[in-house]
Chains A and B, each alone.
Chain A
């Protein structure tokens, strides 16, 4: 209960900070942070709540980014439609990946998703519309509902903020719905869930597809804001990073992925100009986290409060 008492003021303070932030921080940096926070929260839905480690989530994020970029640039679709198309693509891709992989447990699932995502990566390298190494550049931002011009980055930021907060509320609702409780039951004891007559595979698949759709949304928003779809968005490095964000923030906690994304995005931002090997530092954080900090920031916080 104590946690709940804290929750409302904490969330209110967080939102307040996000609303005021563009005055002091680059809006693009904030957009990056928001998109990755949504991405990590989406991953957490499968990793933390359904107990599935996906090492291929970049395929949804990046796949959706490419589709949105192409729709906005080559077909001239408006912002909303381009984003929706990207999300639809990610959803279908999630359905395909999930249907193929869901029957394999634990680490097998991780390998299957990783390999499938790599296939998407190679397609992105080769397909004519993706632009190979160059990616899709100068993606137009367009207007929201034909009214609000998004070319101003601060405006773009507030639009992204609204959409991301709405998506996070959706995640919250999913986790706290009866469906979310079924997921928790499956994660706790899969055999028992099966014996209770739950269709475990279908539940996992639904969670996976929702997660893929939200990852796609994150990717689409980012590509519109940054006006660039590139191979980085579909690479296995990104799939790994988003797992790290979730892990370091706290797997299976609602706020963990958001905190983790904020931490990692800020760290990368800070390191970008330092001349240090970023990938190696991220890898080292990964190793340290796995060895001694498996609960993550938020998980550790909640654990201490419970004591």
Chain B
């Protein structure tokens, strides 16, 4: 199951809490360089929490989390981005008091090799010429593109992408799927939380299934496609 490529992210027995409520119960998973890995699971399984725990947004946590050998648990939350991690949250997190240009340039550049504005507009033509528009006046799809674009600009090479297709029209989902393939081709490492299996299987290498704060199953993309019954059993479809 594990291949010989270089490990980038390693979670072992990761626990985390929102206040008193214990959400992650010993999550274990890993992601190799250049992989696209999805986390599947029902609502409340702990997918988003896994991302937020990796980013250090959820502070109360225990266990092991390493990125390229750096201990994420010991890293203060504002230093996590500097390790190359870029977070595109589920609610997209576009700021209503900032215009599109300000939203786009808000996250500081963390590594060289990030996309320039030209690359970004090539990837997401909708964003071009919208600089002065208030961020939250964009359509849902455009906000999703903006949320991804601002991370790509920073040079982050490990992207956490939380439900990018949620609530979007099929045409827009196709556009984002194409963008994801391009990003993979550029060599970015990506964790994708996704409900849309068609979208998930289009670019992913491997899939984890979470339930009740734990990883309960793991598939290669080929297995998932050939054994939909098993994943459907997990997801309760």
CB–CB under 8 A between A and B in the complex?
no
Chain A positions near chain B (C-beta within 8 angstroms)? none
